[in-house]
Amino acid sequence: MQTNDAKIKARAVFEILVRENQSMLMTYLRAVVRDKSVIEDLFQETMLTVWQKLDEYDRSRPFGPWLRGIAANLVKAYYRKNKSAFLLCEDDVLEQVSQQLQNISERPGDTWEEKIAALKLCIEALSEEHKQVINLRYFEENSAMQIAEAAKTNVETIKKRLQRARAQLLDCLKRKKVVAELTV
């Protein structure tokens, strides 16, 4: 049975760890789930599970991978329950996404917010055409087909613009030393 002081300490540790990792967790969930309401539900369920299992966390190990592991298990459980939902990735892809987020978290920059700020600066540096396609795809969550229809062009042109824009963003982030060489 925990004393009141131990409970207060556990809550403080939990709040700090969540504050430091919530952006990374949302990035992870958005990378593997498309439905916004499911993302929010999985985020909340992950936080609840982490709170319930906080005493099992090995403080000698990084918190991020443990948190993503819990989230990955919940994502897989969600897809098993909802077989009609489109599975974005298999176990090896979930692991690859997690590893890339770990690589990013180990790069210079104190917080995910600083890293996101660097990404926003890189997006602002894109040409208007590339900035527009990135905004339409990732911020407004349109498919390449939807973007092509709105732009009255073919989908392959949009896919090529997205590919070039992502390559430019990656180069920019490498120059800012936010990401290392990525292997996908």
pLDDT in tens, 41-50: 999 999 999 9
How many distinct structural domains can be found in the chain?
2
**Same-domain pairing of 84 and 12:** yes
CATH code of the domain containing 116: 1.10.10.10
Q: Report pLDDT for 97.
A: 66
Q: Rounded to 5 degrees, what angle do the CA atoms 109, 114, 117 make?
A: 135
Distance of alpha carbon 7 from alpha carbon 168, whole angstroms: 47
Q: Report pLDDT for 40.
A: 93
**Same-domain pairing of 70 and 119:** no
**Same-domain pairing of 85 and 151:** no
Q: Report pLDDT for 58.
A: 85
Domain carrying residue 84: 1-89
The one-character DSSP state at 105 is: H
**Same-domain pairing of 165 and 121:** yes
**Same-domain pairing of 76 and 46:** yes
Burial zone of 136 (CB within 10 Å; 0-12 exposed, 13-18 middle, 19+ buried): buried
Q: Among candidates 57, 31, 36, 33, which has minimal Cα distance to 184?
A: 31
Distance of alpha carbon 2 from alpha carbon 166, whole angstroms: 49
C-alpha 46, offset from chain centre: 14
Task: Assign 154 to helix, strand or coil.
Answer: coil
Does 97 map to a domain? no
**Same-domain pairing of 145 and 72:** no
Residue 176 near residue 122 (C-beta atoms within 8 A): yes
Does 115 map to a domain? yes
CATH code of the domain containing 5: 1.10.1740.10
Residue-wise pLDDT for 19-48, tens only, equals 888 888 888 888 888 788 998 999 999 999
pTM assigned to the model: 0.54
Does 96 map to a domain? no
